[in-house]
Structure 1
Amino acid sequence: MYTLLNTMDINGPVIAQSDGTLLLEIANPFAEEARAKISAFSELISSPDYMHTYRISPLSLWNAASAGISYEDIGLTLNKFSKYPVPQSLLDFIRHTIDRADSVVLLPTAREDTLCLKIKPPLSKREILSYRSLKKYLMLSYQELEEKEDILYLNMLHRGTVKQALIDLDYPVSDKVPLKQGDRLDISLQENLQGEKRFSLRAYQKDAVKAFTGDDTPGTGYGTIVMPCGSGKTIVGIAVMAHYKTHTLILTPNIAAAHQWIDEILEKTNISPNMIGEYTGEKKTIKPVTVATYNILTWRPDPDVDFYPHFDLFIKHNWGLIIYDEVHLLPAPVFKITAELQAKRRCGLTATLVREDGKEHHLFALVGPKRYDIPWKQVEEKGWIASALCYEIRIPLPDNDRMEYITADRRKKFKIASTNSLKNKIAEILVKRHRGLPALIIGQYVEQLEKLAKELSIPIITGKTPNKKREEIYNQFKEGKIKTLIVSKVANFSIDLPDAAVAIQISGSFGSRQEEAQRLGRILRPKEHNAYFYSIITRDTVEEEFGLNRQRFLTEQGYKYNIEVWTEEEIEQNG
């Protein structure tokens, strides 16, 4: 029986509602203190000027429970900061969800190949065995291991599969099975870099590493670290490698990202080039530190056959740590590998846990809970990422395209609006507005980008650009030889262009919040001036609707979009 006394003794800034939403009054003098507390067990939904909205969800509560936050802790926080009494139905939901988070514990047994599930109320062994998705993997007894009232047994190989099935049933597993060490690697961070450069971890980077590694006891060494683009997620990953000193496999979204990881490791650690392998479409070498791409792992010779020849990379070597760069992009086939790698330490790195397929809970089960999260604006206030000014420029659809738009299906409508010919003129105007600042023009549709590149005589990188040519152009941009660069969605992720100060988004992938965040991230490296992020939207079309959804993640982080409405006449005059 749980009982929480109402401890309201201040004019609280929080209004707790029975549907799990929390309204935070920003003008209240206790708002910042309350924000720090409620962020540990709720998710920010929106952040307009005066009232921010958070939501308590099962996933946010599971993450809180993994961090050692109890029902009593949450209840006391809500009662302390709530303006009005907290609805009992909300407290009951929190209690019930936290209880479920502690209902299943995975433990080792006397047999190396066997694990056990210890089951606690409100869950029962009978309930678990009633689910077909679980029953075939579980046993009442296992050879010489005895049957017990609250125990079920499973083969070590099914560890991830069972965890994934249980979380689909809203029962996250607390995994207390010790992780394997892997082969040892003598890796350490170097403070003195080439020339006069010095390097040390920032305070929040140290906090992220500590939150992930914990006290190195069972139940630690796996999970996700959430940090803004440009704040040094790669550095944190390398610091985790230096902590565990073990052979490491690093998975990245593309070859450019793989090369950046290799460069960073060589610069900031004592590891020599002959200790690092690249496993991509271009090279396939396995070394104590191996950097691979998701694409090579999910390649299959026959699209109709579920066979991935490169999956054996995971078992060819005794890895002690696997790092998932941009873990929110984890392709569906890699979930299977991740399920089979539960004995390894697993570190996911991302700027946002948002997945457009809604599989965040699978990341929780197979990679691990969120161990660390720092708000974008907090990092910006410390000067570690650039201050960004966000603009949405709304333009009309030309009359000669309107009839085609009206008669098109929804997908074609989106393309017509996204490739609005007036956008090229806007892009040219914005490049002139910020003449002298390194600028990226980013888009979804290659033909649109190629036309713009030809009109403005600007270099372009798309999926068709050979990797060697891509890196040549990236380097020219970094060195200032190219001031403006056009890039397709291949540059959304893990591309290090530290001097980019302006991003002009002329089209995007429908309502992808993660893409919006990643594109802003291209210009957030620290610099002496502001960064500028423009999103060009066709008014009174489906693109306007998708644009609002795209912006949601950034507005949750505290960014504000300044709206500019341009008429066709104004565009012609300024062009």
Structure 2
Amino acid sequence: MGPLIVQSDRTVLLELDHPDANAARQTIGGFAELERAPEHVHTYRITRMGLWNAAAAGVTADEIISALNTYAKFAVPDTVVRTITDAIDRYGRLDIIRDAEGRLVLTADDARLLTDVANHKRVAALLTEQVDQRTWIVQEWARGQLKQELLRIGWPAEDHAGYTDGDPYEIDLNEDDWHLRPYQQQAVDSFVAGGSGVVVLPCGAGKTIVGAGAMAALSRKTLILVTNTLAAHQWRDELLRRTLLTDEQIGEYSGEAKIIAPVTIATYQMLTARRSKKYTHLSLLDAENWGLIVYDEVHLLPAPIFKLTAELQARRRLGLTATLVREDGKESDVFSLIGPKRYEAPWRDIEAQGFISPADCVEVRVEFSEDEQARYAMLADAERYHATALAEAKLDTVSELLDEHADDQTLVIGQYLDQLELVAERTGLPLITGKTPTPERERLFAAFRTGEQRALIVSKVANFSVDLPDARVAIQISGAFGSRQEEAQRLGRIIRPNSDGSRSIFYSIVVADTVDQDYALSRQRFLSEQGYSYRIVDAEDLPVQIPA
């Protein structure tokens, strides 16, 4: 009697109290998405995107069905078996290749299948000439868009059309005092073998190092796209440390500099900047004969970049992320335009190896005052979440937790600037927001790293691409509504291994019986899928006992 109940609507219930729950969670995580994560039973859904990512990794339908049967409490419904078999069977029956004459063509293993997809209006517009019953010539520019359209009609194509090598450029790792960890090497090898795709690793597990390893393995001119200027500076510092590249060999293309070099780090903001409805910096994409394009934090890739990426299908593409969850639902565009998931290491596995810090997640429930509750009841739905951010009990609890962790490196993280300003006014701590100049941000982060500054208040600018290795405590006081990706990124700020080996603590302060509590449950889904659980405590029960 296993821990899974597989239902005919493709939902899968996981009983957390079962001794095989963790093994079952890891098994289904590759093809099912966590939808709800209450205390005792988690609800997953088997999705086509999850099944196609599994197929891209070489997993067969028989292996998936066998895994479900191994952990299922009851027989797996025939409808689910058929769904899995059909989805896996659809992957790779269409292929995009170069023919003997060098033309870009779409081929199929079955003439009827090719006729069916070619009759779809949006697909037909990308094809030019039928060569035979199983081959159509594709417009040269349409390689990326064709993959998107085929995915939308349920027929994901494999792309074996090859890549432009790009200009060779020697990039060697500087491994005098460090080496790629085994999982990092596996990630590099899986990416290089696959050609293009996404590597999923927890925050703090060395995604930048995987990027450097891929660059060294290919040794080609490389364009690296990052979220902001601070991230660009951190990539530069890491490349200078981990490789034999010199400062002159690494360019920065951002709001602060416009230097193109054999390895160039550019911000998404620069590529999406427009004037008179035209993208003004697209020349960067053709400035060098790039052999590799790296997309940092690919789960945050701005929607306009997908259109640009559709035109870069002849270049090798590496996406790096802690989670493939996108709140805008564009996971399918990442799959078709960047590539399938080539490697993923579960957070708990990396933690068990000692490469990221164990973390305890605590949801602290506070209450509105009577006056606040009365005002909240009168607000429109769109205004209610902001009102919970300003609850007096939240501010009191922040102060209490800061006192409790006075000797720990602590981040107070929130969404609303007026809330963060109130906390800064009450505590006297420095506040970092999007308006904080980059030099001041870097100064404060540097002071935090050295221990000169014990605590910082940060807005969403610190959600990603901020390297703070000694941060041990995070206090989340508001967020981007029910964003799962943000929750993962914020926990990621504090799970880099602590120098003293201590556990990290992630507090989320939530106003009980409000939309704040509803959003908190949604936010926690991804981390619950990774094996983290949230203890729920009332504010009056603080402090909580954290295991050594």
Asked whether the two chains share a fold, i.e. TM above 0.5, the reply is yes
Please state if 1:206 is matched with 2:185.
yes
State how far apart, in whole Å, the 1-side matches of 2:188 and 2:466 are.
Answer: 23
Of 61-70 and 395-404, deviating more is 395-404
Please state if 1:258 is matched with 2:248.
no
- 1:152 corresponds in structure 2 to 136
Q: Aligned residues, how many?
A: 541
- With normalisation by structure 1, the TM-score equals 0.90
- 1:473 corresponds in structure 2 to 444
The partner residue of 2:32 within 7, 29, 42 is 42
State how far apart, in whole Å, the 2-side matches of 1:355 and 1:189 are.
Answer: 32
1:198-242 deviation digits (Å, cap 9, x = unpaired):
11111111111122122xxxxx21010111111111111110111
State how far apart, in whole Å, the 2-side matches of 1:70 and 1:331 are.
Answer: 33
- 1:5 corresponds in structure 2 to none
Please state if 1:134 is matched with 2:123.
yes
Change (3 A) 1:134 1:319: same
- What is the identity, as a one-letter code, of the residue corresponding to 2:212? I
Secondary structure of the residue aligned to 1:499 is: coil
- Alpha-carbon RMSD across the aligned residues, in angstroms, is 2.1
1:466-506 deviation digits (Å, cap 9, x = unpaired):
11111111111111111010111111111001111111111
Please state how far the C-alpha of 1:350 moved relative to its aligned partner. 0.5
The partner residue of 1:372 within 321, 343, 368 is 343
- 1:95 corresponds in structure 2 to 85
- What is the identity, as a one-letter code, of the residue corresponding to 1:97? A
State how far apart, in whole Å, the 2-side matches of 1:397 and 1:39 are.
Answer: 38
State how far apart, in whole Å, the 2-side matches of 1:556 and 1:36 are.
Answer: 9
The partner residue of 2:96 within 89, 95, 106 is 106
Of 46-55 and 288-297, deviating more is 46-55
- 1:74 corresponds in structure 2 to 64
Please state if 1:60 is matched with 2:50.
yes
State how far apart, in whole Å, the 2-side matches of 1:28 and 1:487 are.
Answer: 39
State how far apart, in whole Å, the 2-side matches of 1:552 and 1:31 are.
Answer: 16
- 2:522 corresponds in structure 1 to 549
State how far apart, in whole Å, the 2-side matches of 1:105 and 1:275 are.
Answer: 38
Secondary structure of the residue aligned to 1:523 is: coil
Please state how far the C-alpha of 1:316 moved relative to its aligned partner. 1.7
Query: Where in structure 2 are the equivalents of 1:183-332 lying within 5 Å?
Result: 183-192=167-176, 198-214=177-193, 220-302=194-276, 305=277, 307-332=278-303
Identity over aligned pairs, percent:
46
Do 1:227 and 1:373's aligned partners in 2 also have CA atoms closer than 8 Å?
Answer: yes
The partner residue of 2:108 within 119, 138, 144 is 119
Please state how far the C-alpha of 1:410 moved relative to its aligned partner. 1.2
Of 392-401 and 524-533, deviating more is 392-401
State how far apart, in whole Å, the 1-side matches of 2:514 and 2:106 are.
Answer: 52
Change (3 A) 1:31 1:442: closer
Change (3 A) 1:407 1:49: closer
Secondary structure of the residue aligned to 2:252 is: strand
Please state how far the C-alpha of 1:56 moved relative to its aligned partner. 2.1
State how far apart, in whole Å, the 1-side matches of 2:235 and 2:412 are.
Answer: 25
1:25-77 deviation digits (Å, cap 9, x = unpaired):
56666666655544443345566776555432101111111112222333343
Please state how far the C-alpha of 1:273 moved relative to its aligned partner. 0.6
1:291-322 deviation digits (Å, cap 9, x = unpaired):
111111111124xx2x1111221122100001
Change (3 A) 1:308 1:547: same
- 1:484 corresponds in structure 2 to 455
Return 5+ residue gaps in structure 2 as ranges. Answer: 544-548
Return 5+ residue gaps in structure 1 as ranges. Answer: 1-10, 142-146, 193-197, 215-219
Please state if 1:381 is matched with 2:355.
no
- 1:179 corresponds in structure 2 to 163
- With normalisation by structure 2, the TM-score equals 0.94
State how far apart, in whole Å, the 2-side matches of 1:221 and 1:270 are.
Answer: 24
- What is the identity, as a one-letter code, of the residue corresponding to 1:360? E
Do 1:25 and 1:52's aligned partners in 2 also have CA atoms closer than 8 Å?
Answer: yes
State how far apart, in whole Å, the 1-side matches of 2:420 and 2:111 are.
Answer: 56
Do 1:133 and 1:165's aligned partners in 2 also have CA atoms closer than 8 Å?
Answer: yes
Change (3 A) 1:406 1:51: closer
- 2:546 corresponds in structure 1 to none
State how far apart, in whole Å, the 1-side matches of 2:36 and 2:374 are.
Answer: 36
Query: Where in structure 2 are the equivalents of 1:411-422 lying within 5 Å?
Result: 411-422=382-393
Change (3 A) 1:360 1:33: same
Secondary structure of the residue aligned to 1:486 is: strand
State how far apart, in whole Å, the 2-side matches of 1:15 and 1:516 are.
Answer: 28
- 2:381 corresponds in structure 1 to 410
